[in-house]
Chain A
Amino acid sequence: MLNGWIKKSVLSLCIFLGLFAWFGMQPVVADGFYEDDLVIAFLPRSLGNPIFLDAFEAAQKKAHELGVRLEWVAPFDFDSDLQVEMIENLIRRGVDGIVASVNDEEQVHNVFQKAMENGIPVATFDADSPGSGRLFYIGINNYEAGMEIGDALVDVIKSKGLEEETLETMIMTGYREALNLEERIRGFLDATNGEVNLHIADILENEDTVEKSIILLEDYLKINPEVDVIYFVGGWPFYVTSDALPNFRQWAKEGGIAVGIDLFYDALLLQKEGLIQYLIGQDMTSMGSQGLELLVRYIRYGEVPPEIVVTGLEHANETNIDRLLEIHKPWLVK
């Protein structure tokens, strides 16, 4: 009997200690109480670009999970100078870590250095600044993404029997200064070069703004309905329904070929309607979630992450469009 009691006691004690250890290891998350008061600031390229919302939600959840405070700050519109100013103020306010999607790759070098000199580790996501001394980059390989979308376009053109024709092509990007976007263009051009005959008629810059991208697209197609191919380096105009893009819809109906990078529910709807032929998407969720965790673990435990953390690419074409529509939720932001 005594042995039984002892066994029970020891077992209870072990369970208790185990639970105690487990709970002890968990960050105590309560509203207003954070484990070590870490504040991690994310800077997307702009608040007004909905593409970062996946990362935003994921980062919030991860922050809550890790018991850190998340700051998510950016100029509403693309503004390199203001982004740098914000980083300066984050340094002044004494945040514990910074993860930024860089607007101007060279412009941030000095402020990143300043942050690091003040003991604030800096990482990049989505748009990198390789020469800045940042801790790590998390995101897609933008050049490879450009190549993949270029390859996809080649396949589409060949499937339409247009590979011998010279196709007038318009490229829509955010800013020519954005490294990630330029890498996507470079990859695209390298992929299509020699495979199809693309004549790059225009490269439009929408300043990383949804509204401007829509206006530019519609106006361009009004004036240049003869363009054959449009390559969207990012998914800025995809946040609206096709009713808001009548010229684009008409152009697509008349055989215009559009491909783009950024994959989300509204874009998939446009693809489903036939306005877009191929989409490649980034895993923004991982950028937000994993990016935060890697930095927090570095700050807390000194775990040095890999310099480049590649998040995967997602392809959307006519074969999997329906499935993807079920997976991706509507954003309903526009």
Chain B
Amino acid sequence: MRADHTIFLRPLNAGVTFDKTDPWELAADPRGMWTVQTGAMGKQNDYGVVSDGYGFEDSPDCERISGGKNSKGPYAVAIGRQANMLQWGFYCAPDRMTDSGKSAFLNAIVYMKQFDGHRPLTKKKGRSREWYQQYVAMVRGLDGKYKRYGASFRDYVKKQFPPAVIEKHGLDADALESWRLANVEYMVGADRWKFEIDADLKKLELSNRKPEFLDWLVERLKKDPKDPLAAKLAARYLGKQPHEVIPFLKANRTWLFFTDTGGFRWLVDENAKARESATAHGR
């Protein structure tokens, strides 16, 4: 939870306090939990919603503000924003919010006004590679906090890694973490749920999500406008033909960001681009 976020501080001090009397076994925040609403769950108030927190902030229109007690894990997003929409994932209406919850909610209304005209930059097309942190943590917990989920959970965790990796390392958490760190910059979505390692990137030792990738493309295409490897990677990560790459980067580089969840692509922050264009034209 970002207790220093504006919605907890301004204009009203929401007086966020943390309670440690009802610890949540999956909580990653040692401070405890903020009480947002009152009433017994499932009787006086209903279940809310959380969204996938891994890779949530890989586009500049998103910010994770708070998690919540849930079945998806400590990084899931209960309160978060994408562009002009803020999700308040807790169920209760104001008549069952705590005073602190009410103040934060009022602050959220004030906070959101500034996002008038913003559009979401990307749809959710798949999982982020950050999920591998969770998978390794799951492996570590197989004989601990996840033990009660039994053999089916063990199988589920195993299937999240490429078969060759499991064949080589088994469920050795340290070895799997070393594999993750060695390959994380070359990961790409194989489908909505699974990942693969981009062999071209690994051979080049080139991250697909760092600006050096764009520099590499420009350099290669300047030398040879039809460079087949540059063409392949430009299509994969920019969705551009080789002749489009340099003009596209020249026009948009300032606003580019890489998103895993948006399809393992470099995209343009159209909100920032429009804002800066309006400022430049005195609008």
Do the two chains bind? no
